[in-house]
Amino acid sequence: MEFLQNNLIYFIPVLGLIGILVMAVKSAWVTKQDAGDENMQELAGYIADGAMAFLKAEWKVLSIFVVFTAALLAYSGTVHEVNGVELHSSWIICISFVIGAVLSALAGYIGMRSATKANVRTTQAARTSLKQALKVSFTGGTVMGLGVAGLAVLGLGSLFIVFLHYFDVIGADGVNAIHMKTAIEVLTGFSLGAESIALFARVGGGIYTKAADVGADLVGKVEAGIPEDDVRNPATIADNVGDNVGDVAGMGADLFGSYVATILATMVLGQEIDAKADAFGGMSPILLPMLICGLGIIFSIIGTWFVTIKDEKSNVQTALNLGNWSSIVITGVASYFIVMWMLPETLSLRGYEFSNINVFYAILVGLVVGTIMSIVTEYYTAMGKAPVNSIIQQSSTGHATNIIAGLSVGMKSTVIPILVLAGGIMASYYFAGLYGVAIAAAGMMATTAMQLAIDAFGPIADNAGGIAEMSQLPPEVRERTDNLDAVGNTTAATGKGFAIASAALTSLALFAAFVGIAGISAIDIYKAPVLAGLFVGGMIPFVFSALCIQAVGKAAMDMVQEVRRQFREIPGIMEYKAKPEYEKCVAISTEASIREMMLPGAIALITPVVVGFIFGPEVLGGLLAGVTVTGVLMGIFQSNAGGAWDNAKKSFEKGVNINGEMFYKKSEPHKASVTGDTVGDPFKDTSGPSMNILIKLMSIVSLVIAPYIAVGVGSTTSAVQGEKPVTTEIRKEIETRRTVDAAGTETIDTIKNVTDTLQNY
């Protein structure tokens, strides 16, 4: 045990390495599976080539952004003092940023490669049984989940070790608090790089996939009356490519960034805790989130063993839920022993005292919040449930009522998640203060590998169905892939709900870290500039969503024109005598997504910098509060509305009962449901899931610039109503005089000493 205590910091990257090794084994297994006949492999090759072409085009643009931003960060790291106030940073933050960006892109690439291998093999497996098709598709998703979580823990843990040694954090006299501050400040660059790439990958991939999907649906299904994923549709390859670059590569980069941001936010708050009584040199609150998330990889691997079915009549959703819940339960049980072993009995953060058992309770709160969010999201988006059925029923009276029903479902779906999040925030804070909120988010994110495996399974199944349709395989094959795809729509929505919930808790933790570093004790909305910042922040998610949806609409118009042109000018397509020009549709989606992703990304990156340096940290805090609240609401609303619309449409494939009459595909209610699904596509796959990255990225940017705009640093600190800035020394003096009495209310003792300090100032 003593050996583990002395070397725990080196054990954490090993957990990430284990995840990557298991990922490699599972990837090799998927590759060995039968890829079907030559025609199936040719179609899968088009999809893989299109996905790779998009990633290469995206990486070229993002490489310019990474180099430019790294240069700015390197310069900022050379500034060690502003107006007499010492800053704790280093030019090495640029290296940390580049590594985070590269690993985020690599996480998306691993997921995309896995999905494009697993899709055609799932189609072939569906020719034999539903059980084998689930095994192949879920294993393909597991490759992505383990790759993302493994890279995050390995990268973050290894960098932290390097920075501890480079900045001489641990010396003969123990842990040097100032050097630790520098090490973690530099480590924030890793999270900034990860989230920056995640935003562009998510927005770009979302624009790509929905431009192709909307174009394929409007012309193929509605105008030409041919089935979804029909080989005659020129946009069908681009549509299937989009599933990989948006729902797989984009989601992989997204949750990689979330994973890293959550751990980092907890570490930033953990460094403020006095834990010298532990056996880790006072570092236990910093190491705890990394260890929990690292062990979560192992628990996720165990959870994958439970995802299996017996026969064709088995419930796929139940199998996936069993795997998910088992990994959550194991994480919860293990967390008790980890917390009690690592943390001292009593801790304190910013005057709030709590015990180690309360930290465990906060972790349980995070796990419960994540579980409830998944259950609620499943209810609002799953086939056969009341919300989706309400959309089906209202499809009978036309397109407009279908849209009204979907919007209503999405809006109502925000109520329970927001109440759960609010309760989770209050409960976790009650147990362990701000550290409790952060560690609750870390507990929720611990099973990210499992969550991503379930999420990535959906696009793989969707692609498998597309290949089955394009290859004109027997109906029972498409029935099996449709079974998986319908469940995949729900798991995708569930994954987005999980990501949004984690983003809310993570952003609050990042917000708390920002407030501490910026030297402000509260965000006072009674002040006009702060209230203005709150309103502007609340507006940003709407503008961001509008730009994303508008981009999808513009690109979809180009796609529709191209598909119509090919149907009109290439004779023999409808008779299977001529092959459509798939590559032209792929090019339209690629060019549109790369072009249109720039402005939304710029808003997220530049706004905090402009507001922070011009108006000061308190106004920036108001901005972040506004962004977080409306961003979470918009994310939940759009993701759930889109998911419900999609499964309402899919319900018609098996037949639905509306007022005692059965309706199927190509009926008038089905056409109305296609319109709803088309509207919901950019909601659920472009703007909705981008909300969680938006709020986290703006928080991380604010955290990175916080030392340069902190109270007492230059003129920026006096922007709010011309106040005289309170120096960092006075703030620290006040904090040291603050205690917490038994009733939990804050009192300030030795007021005279504080008054003397203010007078001396």
pLDDT above 70 coverage of the chain, percent: 90
Structure tokens at 219: 């012309």
3-state secondary structure of 719: coil
- When pLDDT is averaged across residues 592-600 and rounded to a whole number, the result is 83
- When pLDDT is averaged across residues 67-76 and rounded to a whole number, the result is 90
Q: Residue 2 has what pLDDT?
A: 59
Contact indicator for 642, 552 with CB cutoff of 8 Å: no
Q: Residue 747 has what pLDDT?
A: 43
Q: Residue 3 has what pLDDT?
A: 59
3-state secondary structure of 180: helix
| Cβ neighbours, 10 Å, residue 742 | 5
- When pLDDT is averaged across residues 229-244 and rounded to a whole number, the result is 79
Kindly report the pTM of this predicted structure: 0.83
pLDDT at residue 443 is higher than 50: yes
- When pLDDT is averaged across residues 461-481 and rounded to a whole number, the result is 84
For 83-111, give one letter per residue: b (16+ CB within 10 A) or e: eebebbbbebbbbbbbbbbbbbbbbbbbb
User: Percent helix, strand, coil in the chain (nearest 5)?
Assistant: 80, 5, 20
Q: Residue 728 has what pLDDT?
A: 42
In 3D space, the residue among 105, 63, 111 whose CA is nearest the CA of residue 201 turns out to be 105
Q: Rounded to an integer, what distance in angstroms lies between the CA atom of residue 249 and that of residue 70?
A: 23
Q: Residue 228 has what pLDDT?
A: 65
In 3D space, the residue among 274, 284, 333 whose CA is nearest the CA of residue 8 turns out to be 284
pLDDT at residue 745 is higher than 60: no
Q: How far, CA to CA in Å, does 618 sit from each of 242, 514, 527, 738?
A: 41, 10, 10, 22
Residue type, 147: G
Enumerate the β-bridge partners of residue 174: 171
Q: Residue 546 has what pLDDT?
A: 92
pLDDT above 90 coverage of the chain, percent: 30
Structure tokens at 693: 């990255």
Q: Residue 685 has what pLDDT?
A: 81
3-state secondary structure of 662: strand
Treating both helix axes as pointing N-terminal to C-terminal, what angle do 668-682 and 399-412 enclose, rounded to 10 degrees? 40
Q: Rounded to an integer, what distance in angstroms lies between the CA atom of residue 177 and that of residue 88?
A: 11
- When pLDDT is averaged across residues 261-269 and rounded to a whole number, the result is 88
Least confident segment among 517-531, 561-575, 719-733: 719-733
In 3D space, the residue among 9, 13, 33 whose CA is nearest the CA of residue 21 turns out to be 13
Q: What confidence tier does 756 reach under pLDDT thresholds 50, 70, 90? A: very low
Which residues, at least 6 apart from 574, have a Cβ–Cβ distance to it below 8 Å?
Answer: 224, 226, 232, 567
Q: What confidence tier does 85 reach under pLDDT thresholds 50, 70, 90? A: low
Q: Residue 716 has what pLDDT?
A: 38
Q: Residue 637 has what pLDDT?
A: 94
Q: Which letter does DSSP use for residue 226 in this model?
A: P
Q: If you write DSSP's letter for every residue of 361-413 in order, what string do you get?
A: HHHHHHHHHHHHHHHHHHHHHSTTSHHHHHHHHHGGG-HHHHHHHHHHHHHHT
Distance of alpha carbon 674 from the chain centroid: 28
Q: Which value, in Å, is the radius of gyration of the alpha carbons in the chain?
A: 26
Q: Residue 542 has what pLDDT?
A: 95
Q: Which letter does DSSP use for residue 348 in this model?
A: E
Question: Does residue 43 or residue 338 have the better pLDDT?
Answer: 338
pLDDT averaged over every residue in the chain: 84
Q: Residue 378 has what pLDDT?
A: 83
Maximum pairwise Cα distance, the chain: 92
Residues in the chain: 761
Question: Does residue 103 or residue 761 have the better pLDDT?
Answer: 103
Q: Rounded to an integer, what distance in angstroms lies between the CA atom of residue 456 and that of residue 563?
A: 28
Enumerate the β-bridge partners of residue 175: 170
Q: Residue 414 has what pLDDT?
A: 93
Structure tokens at 249: 């590569």
Structure tokens at 318: 């139940």
| Cβ neighbours, 10 Å, residue 24 | 14
| Cβ neighbours, 10 Å, residue 162 | 16
Structure tokens at 359: 């930290």
3-state secondary structure of 208: helix
Q: What confidence tier does 70 reach under pLDDT thresholds 50, 70, 90? A: very high
Q: Rounded to an integer, what distance in angstroms lies between the CA atom of residue 531 and that of residue 449?
A: 39
